[in-house]
Structure 1
Amino acid sequence: MTKRYVVLYRAPRSVAERFAQATPEEAQQGLTLWHDWAARLGPALVDVGRPLGAKVDVTPDGVVDSGSDVIGMSLIEAESMDAALALVRDHHHLHWAEDCSITLIEEAPIPELQG
C-alpha cells in the first residue's frame, strides 16, 4: 500500500536570502534541478510543492512569531519510509549549503468514528 510523505526542506535564512537575490540565470539553473528531480520521481511526486514564507505558532495563549528554518515543501508517495528516503537521499536541496536538510513526515490515517 502506498503511503504519503510530507517533504520539508530546511535551510538557514541565509540560503533563502541568497535565492531571493539570484540572477535570472541562477534562478533558471535552480528551476532546472527541480524539474529534473520531478521528472525522476514521476507519479511518486504528488505535489512538487513550493517555497514557504512567514511562520507563526498558534498556542492557547495566543500567536507567537517564531521564525522557521523550513523554506519549502513537497508531497510524495512511496511504499515505505525507506522507499521515501531513497527518493530524497540525493536531492539537490542537500547541496545548497552545509546546514540544509530534509525532513520526511509520514501522513497518518484519520481514525474512523465508531458508533
Structure 2
Amino acid sequence: MPRFLAVYTMRHEDFERFRAMPKAEQDAVDTLGVQQWAAWEERHAGSILDKGGMVGKTMRVNRDEIAPATNTLCGYLVVEAETIGDAARIFETHPHITTFPGDGIDIMPIVTDPAP
C-alpha cells in the first residue's frame, strides 16, 4: 500500500502567540491536545506506520556553510493509504490544527521503496 509522509507545520508567530498566553491557558490546551492526539492515534493506528515525532530548531547544511535556519516544520509521521486524498482525510480533524496552534499538515507520497 502507498506510504505518505505527513509533516506538521506551525508559523513562528502562532507559536509565539500561544506561548504569550497565560500559563494556565497553555496548560489547558496542552492537556486537552495531548488527550485528543492519543485518541486520534488510536483511531488511526491501522494506518500509522511510523509515529515520527516533534522536531526542534533547524541546522541547515548547504555547499557554503552549516548554519542555523528557520522553517515551519515541527513534526512528522508516516501513514499508509490507498491515495493521497485518503491519506489527507486521515488528518482532517487532527489536534495539531484543531486544538494546538499548528497551521497545517502537508501530505506527500513517499516515492522510493522502503529499505530492505
Unaligned runs of 5+ in 2: none
Unaligned runs of 5+ in 1: 111-115
Partner of 1:45: 48
How many matched pairs? 107
Structure 1 position 4 matched with structure 2 position 3:
yes
Cα distance in 1, alignment partners of residues 95 and 66 from structure 2:
34
- What's the TM-score once normalised by structure 1's chain length? 0.78
Partner of 1:56: 59
- What's the TM-score once normalised by structure 2's chain length? 0.77
Q: Give the CA deviation at 1:15.
A: 4.2
Cα distance in 2, alignment partners of residues 29 and 61 from structure 1:
44
Post-superposition Cα deviations, 1:40-81, rounded to whole Å, max 9, x if no partner, equal 112201122221101122111122322121111111111111
Partner of 1:75: 78
What is the 5 A alignment of 1:16-35? 16-17=15-16, 18=18, 22-23=26-27, 25-35=28-38
Aligned sequence identity (%): 19
Dislocated runs of 4+, deviation >3 Å: 14-19
Aligned residue type for 2:107: L
